[in-house]
């Protein structure tokens, strides 16, 4: 059987109406949403199915909402007996990956993403930040430009998404300066609609508190390997997993390296589990042209049924 990787999306993949068909189809999904709503003290089904988008996109609401949809789609797949060779999640999505691998319980996963969202939201109000996607330069090019812009303020790499798609994060003036230089070198710079400078020093104030919170949550060994954003590597040790999750808040997301790790492991089936198609798009850009693969988006009942039919 071909090796399957489960990929879980994060912020930026949300849409109003996400997860509704799974909610209507499966009792266990309704129960998951009810549990998440109770833990987070918000109506997650209302946010996901009715919005408005402005409320859904607020990071404190978005993190448990996207996680609820990710895990709903995953639970439906799990009940069909499909087990991945590897899992990975993009930023927030890493929590869904760890939950799917049984390193963290469903309940603790929602507690973690809700706390993470609260702390990130708080820091974004304290420190104005910006994020831009730079398309057309390599990570080496971007790091060189950032080195020359350090005197203009805080700026760093947030996401290394593909070979030549890199998201930068930090103080607005410094981010803008890097974008201008990158544009002069032939790249395209795209400002992102975000409320904070995620994965940057500007939210460092959340890191210590979040690490303290992580210490109160039980982490277990993963039953299937999870590739971590911070290291682009796997770990089955609960203590190390806790440390990696703690570092993830302010460290770059090594998505390009993570997908290359899956290529090294000869994974041929990539299933994006949750709303949107962002990760599938990135994966297709990373995979070599002659690489044999199939990609699936499990974001609707129809797509779910098609996936089950093809991989079983």
| Per-residue pLDDT tens over the stretch 86-106 | 999 999 999 999 999 999 999
Contact 224, 130 (CB under 8 A): no
CA dihedral 268, 227, 92, 114 (to 10 degrees): 130
pLDDT of residue 54: 95
Please, what is the end-to-end C-alpha distance for the chain in angstroms? 9
Query: Which residue out of 91, 96, 200, 258 is catalytically annotated?
Result: 91
Show Cβ contacts of residue 24 under 8 Å, excluding neighbours closer than 6 positions. Answer: none
CATH dotted code for 128-191: 3.30.70.250
Q: Give the 3-state secondary structure of 138-198.
A: CHHHHHHHHHHHHHHCCEEEEEEEECCEEEEEECHHHHHHHHHHHHHCCCEEEECCCCCCC
DSSP letter string, 206-237: HHHHHHHHHTTS-----SS-EE-TTTSSB---
> What band does 305 get if pLDDT is binned at 50, 70 and 90?
very high
91 counts as catalytic = yes
Mean pLDDT of the chain: 97
Please report, rounded to a whole number, the percentage of residues in the chain having pLDDT higher than 90: 97
pLDDT, tens digit, for every residue of 19-72? Answer: 999 999 999 999 999 999 999 999 999 999 999 999 999 999 999 999 999 999
For the whole model, what pTM was predicted?
0.97
Crossing angle for the helix pair 139-149 and 172-184, nearest 10 degrees? 130
Question: How many whole angstroms from its chain centre is CA 65?
Answer: 13
The domain covering 4-125+201-311 belongs, at the CATH homologous superfamily level, to: Malonyl-Coenzyme A Acyl Carrier Protein, domain 2 (3.40.366.10)
Task: Please give the pLDDT value at position 19.
Answer: 98
Pairing of strands 155-162, 188-191: unpaired
- Which of 199, 235, 251, 258 is catalytic? The answer is 199
| Domain assignments of the chain as residue spans, ordered by start | 4-125+201-311, 128-191
At which residue do the structure tokens 């080496």 appear? 140
Q: Tens digits of per-residue pLDDT, 231-290?
A: 999 999 999 999 999 999 999 999 999 999 999 999 999 999 999 999 999 999 999 999
The contacts of residue 146 (CB under 8 Å, 6+ apart) are 155, 156, 157, 168, 178
Q: What is the pLDDT of residue 151?
A: 86
Query: How many angstroms separate the CA atoms of 160 and 91, rounded?
Result: 11
- Check: CB of residue 268 under 8 Å from CB of residue 292: yes
From the centroid of its chain, how far is CA 211?
Answer: 19
User: Whose CA is closest to 7, among 271, 269, 228, 209?
Assistant: 271
What are the pLDDT digits (tens) for 148-203?
Answer: 988 889 999 999 999 999 999 999 999 999 999 999 999 999 999 998 999 999 99
Q: Give the closest residue to 233 by CA, choosing from 269, 267, 257.
A: 257
CA pair distance 60, 113, nearest whole angstrom:
9
> If pLDDT is split at 50, 70 and 90, which confidence band does 1 have?
confident
pLDDT of residue 195: 87
Whole-angstrom distance, CA of residue 82 vs CA of residue 80: 6
Backbone angles phi, psi at 264, to 5 degrees: -60, -30
């Amino acid at each position: 059987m071909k090796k399957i990787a489960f990929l879980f999306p994060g912020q930026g993949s949300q849409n109003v109406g996400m997860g509704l068909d799974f909610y209507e189809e499966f009792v266990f999904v309704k129960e998951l949403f009810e549990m998440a709503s109770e833990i987070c003290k918000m109506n997650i089904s209302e946010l996901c199915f009715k919005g408005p988008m402005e409320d859904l996109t607020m990071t404190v609401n978005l993190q448990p909402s996207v996680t609820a949809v990710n895990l709903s789609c995953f639970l439906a797949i799990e009940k069909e007996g499909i087990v991945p060779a590897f899992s990975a999640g993009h930023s927030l999505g890493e929590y869904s990956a760890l939950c799917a691998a049984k390193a963290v319980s469903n309940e603790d996963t929602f507690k973690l993403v809700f706390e993470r969202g609260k702390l990130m939201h708080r820091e974004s109000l304290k420190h104005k930040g910006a994020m831009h996607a730079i398309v057309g330069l390599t990570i080496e090019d971007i790091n060189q430009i950032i080195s020359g812009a350090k005197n203009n303020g805080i700026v760093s790499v947030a996401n290394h998404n593909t070979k030549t798609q890199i998201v930068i994060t930090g103080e607005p003036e410094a981010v803008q300066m890097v974008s201008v230089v990158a544009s002069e070198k032939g790249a395209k710079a795209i400002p992102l609609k975000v409320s904070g400078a995620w994965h940057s020093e500007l939210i460092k104030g959340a890191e210590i508190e979040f690490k303290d919170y992580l210490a109160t949550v039980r982490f277990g060994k993963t039953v299937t390997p999870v590739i971590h954003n911070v290291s682009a590597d796997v770990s089955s040790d609960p203590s190390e997993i806790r440390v990696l999750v703690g570092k993830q808040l302010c460290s770059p997301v090594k998505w390009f390296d993570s997908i290359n790790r899956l290529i090294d492991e000869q994974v041929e089936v990539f299933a994006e589990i949750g709303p949107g198609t962002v990760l599938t798009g990135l994966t297709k850009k990373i995979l070599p042209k002659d690489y044999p693969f199939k990609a699936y988006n499990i974001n609707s009942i129809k797509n779910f049924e098609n996936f089950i039919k093809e991989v079983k």
